[in-house]
Structure 1
Amino acid sequence: MPMLNMPSLDQLDVRPVENQLTLSKWYEFENAQSVKEGGLAEDSAHCIVLFGTTITGSILLEFLNALALVNIVPTQVCAYQAHEDLPAGVAIMAYFPSGEWPKSDIRQAAGKLGCQGAILPILPQLNTPGLLVMDMDSTVIEIECIDEIARLADVYDEVASVTAEAMAGKLAFNESLHKRVAKLQGIELSLISPLKEDLPLMLGIKQLCEVLKAHQWRLAIASGGFTWFAEALQSRLDLDHVYANTLEIDGQRLTGRVIGEIVDAEKKAEVLNALRERYEVSPGQTLAIGDGANDLVMMAAADLGVAIHGKPKVVEQADAAISEGSLLQFLYFLTVPLP
């Protein structure tokens, strides 16, 4: 796509950026050619995305100034519409200082402007069928199911403390799972049936799944939670597969044990790799989302791993993050126009 000359930065004003830049058109900064001729390695050029609120020309200018303070050199910019229900986002092609990957600088600079920001190591495309593997608890749904079961059984404090340790990476997942499930022994299924029937979806997840399915994407849940709940979500979200742990039941009561293979961090990554191979997913089109330490192996195995309202350790290690707002914003990572 041919480049357009970037309007002078001092002409950017308080109007929304889409009123000042033509959507889906890449503009070159005045320094672009000299930067390219300056001997910078091509692989030091990356895409930064700015999203999450109405971005004005003034906000864009402040963000560009913040990039300059950490020696990031922008060469091209593009405003784009990820979805009709989302404000326009901004993509910036830029060169980074050698050997640096300043994710925290980008996030902090965006946050100060009321936005969110991320560096994309790749540019997956919505229009190319792909694979999205999702954690369930606190990612697809707003709750941790085991904590809610424990609340109903008056053992919430005991279970929640173990959950917190596991999600923060301070306790091996398998050990924490067995410890927590043991505290649920004797709970009647009738007590937790209403929870299964009315799982609170994370804002935007249903709409996101609908958009992805309309573009022939494969969707799966790989969860350290329980099949009882994951299977309830399968039809609601039109998922192709669900993988989770199975609670043992005896006489309509929980026995306090988990049966079958445990879906832990390594198993989640195995699921992702197996589905990528099964569906012959194109390079760069395998994505994973999650919020806890148990999701990091899966996210690292994906072409793009995104933290969703994640714990600090997860946000730090993820390729990108959505820390507030609707999961429909995930489309900002799939709709950046190719330069």
Structure 2
Amino acid sequence: MPQHSIAFSTLAQQDDLSLSNHLNLNTWYDFDHASLVADAPGSLTYVVIFSFQLGMHVANFAQQLEQWGGELVGVVRYEAHADLPPAFAFAISNADAQLNDQVKAYSAENGVQCAALVNPPKLSQAGLLVMDMDSTAITIECIDEIARLGGVYDEVAAVTAQAMAGQLDFSESLRQRVAKLAGIKLDLVDDLKSQLPLMPGVEQLCAVLRENNWHLAIASGGFIPFAKQVQSVLNLDKIHANQLDDDGAALVGTVSGQIVDAQEKARFLAQYREQLQLPKSQTMAIGDGANDLLMMQEAGLGVAVHGKEKVVAQAPAAITAGSLAQLLYFLTIPLRD
């Protein structure tokens, strides 16, 4: 157990800058009121808070954690990457079942990033990241952009609205939307493919993961040509997406093969994990939509990134603003011995 300690009152009264003078990086500090009874391995919940401007949020957040139940055992200030400001992680034993929801609510109300994690993946060990593509690895929805090029965006959007309202499942909505793309010239699709806008931070995230022997993949309800382009740019190991059919000159309005829906994404992750002989705890899945939730549940850690409100509520963790490089905060917590 750590040999350092800090008075809770000290933490609860100082801002981020002042705390940097009290807390050495990567050193756990016990709270003066914490139990001396050692926790069983894996019994701790780690609650992280990070932002480029934390100010008094660390102090305020600590006081909230005290009120939410469980025993606040200690705190650590740590650096996930040289380009990211230090984060803080609190260790909590016997955490209340509502803690995750409370942490997410605090994040939404205060404009900082927070998450409650149990047995998080470790950057220092080989792992697997599976990403959604549209609005996750890249900033656009490819089917919408193809539809704009073909002048059928409103028609495609109407089908999307039906799916969002629960009137169509993903496979049927995909087939109906793709049908409206028939006749769009491949040169327009190729132009779009050549200039895909990457999500900020995804290049840095993938580079760091690859340096640490992680495997990288995309599982997308989008289309193979775009996934291949992202694979090339990010040096990914595998992609799994839908086959968009064409006649050599234009799209024909159909997809062929297995539709990559929510179940297929989860199946792909599980199969790839088994192929790599990795434990579930060393896998992470990220996405923005409801179609990604099963994949998140199949992973050791699922994270909603810039996700819809309902997805953020259901995902184990979330990043609601800023660079995807911030995912490194979840993988680099100096776990207590």
TM-score, structure 2 normalization: 0.93
2:186–2:248: 8 Å Cα contact kept in structure 1?
no
Selected match of 2:84 from 80, 83, 86? 86
Equivalent pairs: percent with the same residue? 49
Question: 1:164 & 1:90 partners in 2: Cα distance?
Answer: 40
Q: Which residue in 2 is equivalent to 1:3?
A: 3
Which secondary structure state, in structure 2, belongs to the residue aligned with residue 147 of structure 1? helix
1:218 aligns with 2:215: yes
* Residues 108-143 of structure 1: CA deviation (Å, up to 9, x unaligned): 223444311111122211010100000000000000
1:246–1:260: 8 Å Cα contact kept in structure 2?
yes
Which secondary structure state, in structure 2, belongs to the residue aligned with residue 243 of structure 1? strand
2:281–2:301: 8 Å Cα contact kept in structure 1?
yes
Alpha-carbon distance, 1:95 to partner = 3.4
* Residues 123-170 of structure 1: CA deviation (Å, up to 9, x unaligned): 211010100000000000000000000011111122123335546765
2:265–2:292: 8 Å Cα contact kept in structure 1?
yes
Question: 2:40 & 2:329 partners in 1: Cα distance?
Answer: 26
1:168–1:293: 8 Å Cα contact kept in structure 2?
no
Amino acid of the structure 1 residue aligned with 2:51 = G
Alpha-carbon distance, 1:65 to partner = 1.4
2:280–2:299: 8 Å Cα contact kept in structure 1?
no
Q: Which residue in 1 is equivalent to 2:51?
A: 52
Selected match of 1:228 from 225, 228, 236? 225
2:246–2:252: 8 Å Cα contact kept in structure 1?
yes
| 1:1-339 matches, cutoff 5 A | 2-10=2-10, 12-16=13-17, 17-33=19-35, 36=37, 45-56=44-55, 58-96=56-94, 98=96, 100-166=97-163, 171-339=168-336
* Residues 248-282 of structure 1: CA deviation (Å, up to 9, x unaligned): 11131111000111111111111101110111113
**Structure 1 consecutive aligned stretches of length 4 or more whose deviation exceeds 4 Å:** 40-44, 167-170
Question: 2:300 & 2:10 partners in 1: Cα distance?
Answer: 38
Q: Any stretches of 5+ residues in structure 1 without a counterpart?
A: none
Q: Any stretches of 5+ residues in structure 2 without a counterpart?
A: none
Amino acid of the structure 2 residue aligned with 1:236 = V
Question: 1:130 & 1:201 partners in 2: Cα distance?
Answer: 22
Higher deviation after alignment, 173-182 or 279-288 = 279-288
Amino acid of the structure 1 residue aligned with 2:3 = M
Amino acid of the structure 2 residue aligned with 1:252 = A
Amino acid of the structure 1 residue aligned with 2:305 = I
Over 3 Å counting, the alpha-carbon distance change for 1:193 and 1:283 in structure 2 is closer
Amino acid of the structure 2 residue aligned with 1:71 = G
* RMSD between superposed Cα atoms in Å: 2.1
Alpha-carbon distance, 1:67 to partner = 2.0
Higher deviation after alignment, 42-51 or 121-130 = 42-51
Amino acid of the structure 1 residue aligned with 2:214 = W
Amino acid of the structure 2 residue aligned with 1:47 = Y
1:169–1:293: 8 Å Cα contact kept in structure 2?
no
TM-score, structure 1 normalization: 0.92
